[in-house]
Structure 1
Amino acid sequence: MTGSRERMLERIRAGLRATQPFLQGEATRAPHNPPPFVHPATDDDLARQFAAELTKLQAVPYLCADDEAALDVIATILDQQQAREVIAWELEQLGLAGIAELLQQRGIARLDGRVAGEPLQRAARLQAHEGAPVCIAGVDAAIAESATLVIHSGAGRPRLASLLAPVFIAVVRRAQLVRGLGEAIALLQRSYRDVFADASALTLITGPSRTADIELTLTLGVHGPREVHAIIIG
């Protein structure tokens, strides 16, 4: 076995040696370094672009002038889903004025979405959360060109608040809208200096969950929310 492995590796090395002069002769450097991203001229352009791209993904955007208008949208969605409990970020992390009163007035309980612990405890907590029809979370960035929501999870910001329930409501501030992925990464690096070194819980959500079988039959909501509602405030 060892001899066969060495012979195979030697053939690979020989092939690389044979093609190296050709590659060095043909390869050329790019004439310039590409910019990391293109800065938008106005935030209004980003909001319209994000909403248009999100609609193409069979998700629903809402452009709200303020928190009060956003609460009206959330109330409508909760009523449509007949929600009695929701999985959500801690309300302080959500930063939406009036959300606590809205949930209280409708008798809706907030599940915090934390499932840490032993495997049996985790399974029990997940099962207890399965009945929640709606999850609510904020975002750290929203990418206009792909309608992607970027969410950094952490204390008070559980991943389940954007993944488990069939209906996901994302709360987006206009200042969090960016043109492309490069700008989103730069925004995260400014907000969380060591975000990529200290935590792996970074979620990028582009529309509802999509799953296709071998016959390419597409189904929404198998591995995540089947509905995504993005509320853009400001």
Structure 2
Amino acid sequence: MIGTIYNRDKFLNKIVSRLNRPRVSALMERPKWKYQPQYEIYKDVAQDELLEILKEHCKKIHTKIFTVDLAELPAVVYDVVAEYGGGPVVTWKDEQFSKWGIDSLWKEKWPSEHVDVFEWDYTLGEENVHQAERANVGITISEITLAESGTVVLFSDKDRGRTVSFLPATSIMLIPKSSLVPRMTQAALKMRQMYQNTGHIPSCINFITGPSNSADIELNLVVGVHGPIKATYIVINDI
């Protein structure tokens, strides 16, 4: 449904009058800053060095990290889920899982061990959310990974529900090594390029840095306040 905006000009004119300035309706020219250090930090750092930066930062954000070849991936995912206490497990529906050979875990291995697994299915509507709420482990994939802050970037769509990353008690995030970038600056550039190439970008993009935490109350850090209490990154050597 397309909404109708009423009294917009009246509302905006009142704001600028209180600010004692004229209302600007023309497009603003982008400023040309003399110094732009955000483009220089880690500018020429290779992927292997970015990985080491990511590993170091994971120590600060209470996040375990593994680096694996594709052949090792299913076994490592299996072991991490077991360490977290097993299922129920909820995953996205993503062809990369099949390409990486780990969908056999939830199609064969876990069902044979009576571990409940649910694969996101947009046709089921709210049932997806209920399954994510009861899950012990959620498994997702990072599209872009910020080495400097240890942040994964998750793109949501009809087969990649955003609740998979924050409703389960624990989280496993698969990180292609090729997805590593230095920091937010490069992530924004990649997303802009994506939009320019395709004319589309997900309506929901989540930047997640390890398990949920907060230090709002008397500066005491509490992990797992509003999402997973534990998180594991598994970096896949895809380059």
Same fold (TM over 0.5): yes
Which residue is equivalent to 2:36? 34
Q: Deviations over 1:16-49 (max 9, x none)?
A: 8xxxxxxxxxxxx987241652323311100000
Q: Report whether the alignment pairs 1:63 with 2:79.
A: no
Which amino acid is 2:34 matched to?
A: H
Which amino acid is 1:134 matched to?
A: V
- Contact conserved, 1:91 with 1:100, CA < 8 A, in 2? no
Which residue is equivalent to 1:50? 54
Identify the range of structure 1 (70-79 vs 101-110) with the bigger mean alpha-carbon deviation: 101-110
Within 5 Å, give how 1:128-147 maps onto structure 2: 128-147=131-150
Q: 3-state SS of the aligned residue for 2:90?
A: strand
Q: Report whether the alignment pairs 1:230 with 2:233.
A: yes
Which residue is equivalent to 2:7? none
Cα deviation, residue 159, structure 1: 0.7
CA distance in 1, matches of 2:18, 2:103: 67
Identity fraction in percent: 25
Cα deviation, residue 163, structure 1: 1.3
CA distance in 1, matches of 2:33, 2:189: 25
- Contact conserved, 1:67 with 1:96, CA < 8 A, in 2? no
- Contact conserved, 2:129 with 2:163, CA < 8 A, in 1? no
Q: Report whether the alignment pairs 1:112 with 2:115.
A: no
Which amino acid is 2:102 matched to?
A: I
Which residue is equivalent to 2:79? 76
Inter-CA distance 116–201: structure 2 relative to 1 (3 Å threshold): farther
- Contact conserved, 1:37 with 1:180, CA < 8 A, in 2? no
Q: 3-state SS of the aligned residue for 2:56?
A: helix
Which amino acid is 1:62 matched to?
A: F
Q: Report whether the alignment pairs 1:202 with 2:202.
A: no
Let me know the Cα RMSD of the aligned residues.
Answer: 3.2
CA distance in 2, matches of 1:213, 1:178: 29
CA distance in 2, matches of 1:58, 1:46: 19
CA distance in 1, matches of 2:152, 2:65: 12
Greater C-alpha radius of gyration: 1
Q: Report whether the alignment pairs 1:182 with 2:185.
A: yes
How many residues in Structure 1 have an aligned counterpart in Structure 2?
211
Cα deviation, residue 110, structure 1: 3.3
Structure having the larger proportion of residues in helix: 1
- Contact conserved, 1:209 with 1:224, CA < 8 A, in 2? yes
Which of 168, 172, 175 aligns to 1:169? It is 172
Q: Normalised by the size of structure 2, how large is the TM-score?
A: 0.74
Q: 3-state SS of the aligned residue for 1:130?
A: helix
- Contact conserved, 1:174 with 1:233, CA < 8 A, in 2? yes
Inter-CA distance 31–131: structure 2 relative to 1 (3 Å threshold): closer
Q: 3-state SS of the aligned residue for 1:225?
A: coil
Q: 3-state SS of the aligned residue for 1:69?
A: helix
CA distance in 2, matches of 1:80, 1:73: 10
Q: 3-state SS of the aligned residue for 2:76?
A: helix
CA distance in 2, matches of 1:51, 1:95: 27
Inter-CA distance 91–129: structure 2 relative to 1 (3 Å threshold): same
- Contact conserved, 1:211 with 1:218, CA < 8 A, in 2? yes
Which of 88, 91, 108 aligns to 1:88? It is 91
Q: 3-state SS of the aligned residue for 1:232?
A: strand
Cα deviation, residue 222, structure 1: 2.2
Q: 3-state SS of the aligned residue for 1:106?
A: helix
Q: 3-state SS of the aligned residue for 2:65?
A: strand
- Contact conserved, 1:61 with 1:232, CA < 8 A, in 2? yes
Inter-CA distance 94–49: structure 2 relative to 1 (3 Å threshold): same
Inter-CA distance 131–213: structure 2 relative to 1 (3 Å threshold): same
Cα deviation, residue 11, structure 1: 8.2
Q: Deviations over 1:162-196 (max 9, x none)?
A: 11111111111111000011111222233344889
For structure 2, list consecutive stretches of 5 or more residues without a partner in the other structure: 1-15, 22-30
